[in-house]
Structure 1
Amino acid sequence: MSNPPTNPPWQTRPPYLPTSPSADVQKHYSAQCHCGRVRYWLSRDRPLASKFCHCVGCQALHGAPFQWAAIFEKDDLHFEPGVVEGGGLAFYHAPTREGRYRLPVKVSCASCRAPIMDEGRRMVLMFPAIIEFGDAEHKKLFDPQCHIFYSQRVVDMPDGKPKWTGLDGKSELMKDVG
């Protein structure tokens, strides 16, 4: 007699745990990947912080000059039923350049490969560009407070926001040019 299959350890903790339909959790925002296979929602009304990241890793992995990231607790994100169990997610561990789940990990849709989030050890970085806000007032809650790794930028952004050479508060502030 064989043992029943067990879930990988990552499936047993947030944000991958299924949310019970009877749970008293409010849906503030919905989001989905490009093809619509990966759908999720956020139970917090605003991010803990929001930033533009200009590091070369984000440039390469997002195919863009910078990444717009909103930081949330892992418990704030909830995947729709079937996404996690159905193999809808793909993982990439950038430090080792391996397609596997290992923190920190980049999470994308297994079908269209659209980025969903970056999962860190304690937080997740969501990508507001794929969130359905409904109106400009709610989207404004996700406005970035600063730029990080601005010393690696490929375009200048003279927007008056603080620009850090590395992580905010842990590196030098740069002068806003433009």
Structure 2
Amino acid sequence: MADNPTNPKPSQAASFHASCFCGKASFEVEGKPLFSLYCHCTRCQRIHGSPFVHILHYNSKALTWNHTDPNALLAKSHPHTEWKEWRCKSCLGIVGNESPAGDRWSLKGALFRRDAVSGVIENWHFIRPTGHIFYDTRMLDVNDDLPKWESMEGTSKRLDTDTRA
């Protein structure tokens, strides 16, 4: 019996392929992320035009660019953050954010490759979010069993789902 490619054995290292909307900027990351969370911060809300975003942080060594065009990416610095934003030059979709030291990447879960039939992100169980961060600035309540944090997971106050800060 062949292994299910979307549910490999726990001992297997997961590899994730992702790309921007048009596919001209693409990358691969190896292994589990440092963390995988839903972010409700006002910066993510404004940049993405969304109530919250699925973010995954990886060490830079885990990321490999796959696109063939060396000019596929545009880098942009923002005055309100030290992280550098990388976008596809063609569709202008955000591909990820690089830490100031260049040692870590913040990637968006929605960019990760999905199963062609089910539409579920491949190897989802490896990157499933473990909580909500900056939940006190949420635009809507989320009714799930994940912990909700005032700011960063584990280092801030845990909020009840029915409490507004």
- TM tier, shorter chain? 0.7 to 0.9
* 1:36 maps to 2:15: no
Encode CA deviations 1:102-128: one digit per residue, 9 max, x unaligned.
941111111111111111133111112
SS state at 1:93 partner: strand
* 1:129 maps to 2:129: no
SS state at 2:123 partner: helix
Question: What's the TM-score once normalised by structure 1's chain length?
Answer: 0.73
Cα distance in structure 2, aligned partners of 1:137 and 1:57: 28
Match of 2:63 among 54, 57, 77: 77
Question: What's the TM-score once normalised by structure 2's chain length?
Answer: 0.78
Structure richer in strand, relative to its length = 2
Structure 1 runs, 4 residues or longer, greater than 3 Å off: 133-137
- The answer for the alignment partner of 2:45 in structure 1 is 59
**Structure of greater Rg:** 1
- The answer for the alignment partner of 2:7 in structure 1 is none
Aligned residues: CA RMSD = 2.3
- The answer for the alignment partner of 2:151 in structure 1 is 166
Match of 1:117 among 87, 96, 99: 96
Cα distance in structure 2, aligned partners of 1:172 and 1:124: 25
Give 1:169 shift. Answer: 2.2
Q: Which runs of 5+ in 1 are unaligned?
A: 1-25
Q: Which runs of 5+ in 2 are unaligned?
A: 1-12
SS state at 2:46 partner: helix
Give 1:31 shift. Answer: 1.3
Cα distance in structure 2, aligned partners of 1:137 and 1:144: 14
Cα distance in structure 1, aligned partners of 2:82 and 2:90: 22
